Structure 1
Amino acid sequence: MTKSQNLLEVLFYINNKKIFTARDVSDTFGISIRTAHRYLMDLSNSGVPIYTEQGRNGGYRLLKNSVLPPVTFSIDEGMAIIFAFQNLNNFQSLPFDMNYETVTQKILTLFSDETKRVIENNSKFIEYFSNRMHETKIDLKQIIEASMNNEVIEIKHNSPNKVTIRNVVPIGLYTYNGKWYMPSYDLNISDIRSFRVDRIE
């Protein structure tokens, strides 16, 4: 790897450490202690707030929450992410707000112009087709929030044969064959049951 790549790896490493020594960096990356000191000095000179801890158990300390290491992706990783978002674009209802075009453009800004051109050209030869996902009548975010808070909710469920009012504790969401499902603990029958979300009011 290039020196800049090595420095980035060291930055990721020390950002997750409370306190560390040059020996820790040396052992982790298989480099000499002298090189470890030089890398830490280079990072410090570039603005990373690395402080020296004096004393018997001293070493280096990074000011916490002050560094957000840059995220880097390979071309294949970028293609995979864009392909995954292309899949999400088939959903008419999602438990979060997302604009496919906006997200795609934000991802592409992470790459160099040359890499961006490669990804955009490759994308022309890949297309994701699936069943158009059913639109739901309720906000999927409400189901996620109820699941996280272990809440009892009352639902009106329209099955093919009858309409029932049920008190349930949602467990989460999953999608299958173009439809959203809400696995829940059904208080009416004291058992787990999955409800098709597009049939819920």
Structure 2
Amino acid sequence: MNGRKLAIMRLMDSRKKFTARELAERFGVSVRTIQRDLDALQEMGFPLYTEVGVNGGYRVLPNRILPPLQLTQNEALGLFLMIEYLQQVPDFPYGSMREHLAEQYFSTLPQDVQDLIVRMREHVTFVQHPGEHAEMLTTEILHAAVDKREIEFTYHSRKGRKEIQAYPIGIYYENGFWYMPARHKEHVLLYRVDRMQQLRVLDSIDESIPSLQSWFKSEDDREGVEVVLQFTEFGTRLAHSDVLFQSIQGHEWRGLVPLEEFPFTARKLLAYGPEVKVVSPEPLQQAVREMLEKSWSQYS
């Protein structure tokens, strides 16, 4: 593809509509030359269509094919590895295109780079532990969050199945699962996306719904209880990679935790086994003991 065709693709992406004469004047060529360029782009798959009439011109379809990237070899290898990684993430937004993208991208690379990728794949892998998601919902949730629209869905919690209406704030991926914070009535609650089914986007819009990034930065207005944890040397190393406890200082973690989050916090602490001890408060100690007793009772 020559430089003029690439420039036409970028220019068409930057504006809704152009006439062939406008493009010819911009590039200093004849109208006929521009029309040949546009015909060639359409044959390559660039989604142009023509509007006839006085106010007509060439327009790009909304779901257009974007111009190719100009990458160095190392950048091309890095991009391919990123695509490989994303293929392991369950229910990734727009995930249906991942395999197609990997195949299409791979086929456009020079043969020597393809050969290098084939050899490289024997020496790298990405280990994920995806659950069995009943439905692929992240794309719909993401669109609803951007549009600030209410959604309705069936949720399978530990207490049974519920029908819920809420405004999604966004989605984030952590430890093999997608999570959706959403405003339900007057509170923001956290839902696991793989436990959601039969999602429907409603017409209601609430412009006051924050973005996910602003929600992450906002302070929790719930009253918290000070929690003090003592980690071992190994537990400290684990805590540094844990979003909840990564603010650990030395071998001690201190923070305010709302009472309603104690069951969740206790379950997280159980994963550390003997590498952590709850110094205070007593209700969290009790929550950990009760979970340990339930686990032990299965073997007694």
Same fold (TM over 0.5): yes
Relative CO higher for 1 or 2, CA cutoff 8 Å, sep ≥ 6? 1
Aligned-pair CA distance for 1:105? 2.3
Structure with max Cα Rg: 2
The equivalent position to 1:102 in structure 2, one of 79, 100, 103, is 100
Structure 2 length normalisation: TM-score?
A: 0.41
Question: Aligned to 2:123, what secondary structure does the other structure show?
Answer: coil
Which runs of structure 2 are paired with 1:2-13 in the superposition (5 Å)? none
The verdict on how the C-alpha distance between 1:168 and 1:70 changes in structure 2, with shifts beyond 3 A counting, is: closer
Tell me which residue corresponds to 1:89: 87
Aligned-pair CA distance for 1:196? 0.5
Q: How many residues align?
A: 150
Which runs of structure 2 are paired with 1:79-158 in the superposition (5 Å)? 79-98=77-96, 100-137=98-135, 139-158=137-156
The one-letter code sitting in structure 2 at the alignment partner of 1:82 is: F
Structure 2 unmatched runs, 5+: 15-23, 30-57, 61-65, 198-300
Structure 1 length normalisation: TM-score?
A: 0.58
In 2, the alpha carbon distance for the partners of 1:142 and 1:77 equals 31
CA-atom RMSD in angstroms:
3.6
Aligned-pair CA distance for 1:142? 2.2
In 2, the alpha carbon distance for the partners of 1:105 and 1:138 equals 22
Tell me which residue corresponds to 1:200: 196
Task: Give aligned-pair identity as a percent.
Answer: 18
The equivalent position to 1:75 in structure 2, one of 73, 76, 87, is 73
1:50 maps onto 2:46 in alignment: no
- Per-residue CA deviation, residues 26-83 of structure 1 (Å, 9 max, x unaligned), is xxxxxxxxxxxxxxxxxxxxx995249xxxxxxxxxxx999x7642222222222222
Which structure shows the higher strand fraction?
2
Which runs of structure 2 are paired with 1:16-31 in the superposition (5 Å)? none
Tell me which residue corresponds to 2:270: none
- Per-residue CA deviation, residues 79-100 of structure 1 (Å, 9 max, x unaligned), is 2222222222224423324354
Aligned-pair CA distance for 1:195? 0.5
- Contact persistence 2:137–2:193 (CA under 8 A): no
Structure 1 unmatched runs, 5+: 1-6, 19-46, 53-63
The verdict on how the C-alpha distance between 1:123 and 1:173 changes in structure 2, with shifts beyond 3 A counting, is: same
Which structure shows the higher helix fraction?
2
